[in-house]
Amino acid sequence: MKKIIKIKHSILLVLLISVVGILAFLLESSDLNSINNIRIDGANYLSSKQYLEIANLINFKNDPNINISVIQDRLEKHPYINNADVWQAERGVIKIKLYEKKLEALLLTNTKQFLITDNAEIIPFYAATKNIDLPVIVNLKNANSIT
C-alpha cells in the first residue's frame, strides 16, 4: 500500500516538474519578454529621441540582443548622463529615469564647444542641447590642449 502511494507521489512530482519546465520554455520563447516601447523621464538637456539615437537604441525592436542591462550601459556612456535607472514597468514597456550631470558653464574655444560640469569635468557640447542658461568662458589660454 505504501509502495503504491510512493509511486503515485513520484508520478505526480514528475508531472508537476514537467509542466513547470514546459511553461518556462514557452514563456522564454514568447513575445512576453520583447521590448515594444521605451519611455524616458528626466531628459532635460536633450530630447528622449536624441538620447536614444546617440545610444544607438532607435531600432531596439529589430535587435534581439537589446535588454535592460544593455540599455542602461549605453545610456550611462553618454557624457550628459550621470546615472540611469532602467526597469520593465509592464509587459513590453521599459521605463528609464535619467539623472543628468549638473552643468556649470559653457566653454568656447576657437574650433569647439564644451560644457563644464559641477565636478569640473569637460564634456562635449551637442548642438541640440536645450534648457541651458550658463555662463560662457571664452579667450582661454591653451585652448588647443582641451580634447
pLDDT tens-digit series, residues 55-79? 888 888 777 788 889 999 999 999 9
pLDDT at 121: 93
pLDDT at position 111 is: 83
* pLDDT tier at 145, thresholds 50, 70, 90: low
Asked if residues 59 and 77 have their Cβ atoms less than 8 Å apart, the reply is no
All cell numbers assigned to 68: 535592460
Average pLDDT, the chain: 86
Angle at 10 between CA 7 and CA 16, to 5 degrees: 140
